[in-house]
Amino acid sequence: MERVEPSKGAIKSWLKGKNLRDKDLIEGASKEALERSFPGIVAVIRRFIEMTESD
């Protein structure tokens, strides 16, 4: 695991040093890691799914 300062500049620099894009990290992340990293977005998506399944 690597630690990167949580600033836009530090993240951009780290990604550039690894020749990666933010999209690459998300595509390679596990479902569990994404759920931990973006709990609010996951909650909205789950609620949306619940609403569309009940129709």
What pLDDT digit, counting tens, does each position of 1-55 carry? 889 999 999 999 999 999 999 899 899 999 999 999 999 999 999 999 999 997 6
Alpha-carbon separation of residue 35 from 3, 10, 18, 21, 49 (angstroms): 19, 23, 24, 20, 15
Q: What is the pLDDT of residue 1?
A: 80
Q: What is the pLDDT of residue 17?
A: 95
pTM score, whole prediction: 0.61
- Helix ranges (H only) for the chain are 8-17, 22-28, 31-37, 39-53
